[in-house]
Amino acid sequence: MADDKQNQEAKESQEVKKKKSPLMLIIIIVVVLAAFGAGGYFFLSKGSLKSPDAEKTTNITYYPLKSFVTNLAGDQGTRYLKVTMQFGISDPSLSEELKANSVAIRDAIIAILSSKMYDDIASEDGKQLLKEQIKHAVNRILKKGKIDEVFFTEFVIQ
């Protein structure tokens, strides 16, 4: 009888352990997921994934320009470039200065674009260099402010 009672108690003990282990496992999983979720929310809400340039671009106003169409250098007039761009400016009042100097700005940009060969602007690095050259040329014309960035919204070579 004593053996039966010990066997019964052992079986009940094992059943309780079996019932507790899946329940305990579920509780642990829920707690871990909640911790990861809370940590992820905290991490993202503090903006620690934002790059330093992210705040810079949020305050930019875009100043659109009319399209430019020009021959590329060195191709005997057989290749054309069509570019549409916008300037990124952090001071919206700079729009007036850009408008007042639009003829000089367009002339400077056309001079830069028409001096380029296909190989100069076909690569991503070439386009980045072109943006920097345009930015530098435009900023030399401006007296009250400076453009922050040049954005190509259309770039077609034919």
Regarding whether 21 and 7 lie in a shared domain, the answer is yes
> 102-116: b or e for each residue (b if 16 or more CB lie within 10 Å)?
eeebeebbeebbeeb
Q: Which of 19-23, 71-75, 109-113, 125-129 has the lowest mean pLDDT?
A: 19-23
Regarding whether 68 and 140 lie in a shared domain, the answer is yes
Once rounded to an integer, what is the mean pLDDT over residues 144-151?
Answer: 96
Parent domain of 44: 2-49
Q: Which of 84, 89, 101, 82 is nearest to 63 (CA)?
A: 89
Q: What is the CATH number of the domain that holds 130?
A: 3.30.479.30
Find which of 32-36, 40-44, 70-74, 145-149 is predicted with most confidence, using mean pLDDT.
145-149
Q: What is the pLDDT of residue 126?
A: 96
Q: Which of 11-20, 34-43, 54-63, 79-88 has the lowest mean pLDDT?
A: 11-20
* Domains held by the chain: number: 2
Whether the pTM exceeds 0.85: the reply is no
What percentage of the chain carries pLDDT values higher than 70? 74
Regarding whether 141 and 74 lie in a shared domain, the answer is yes
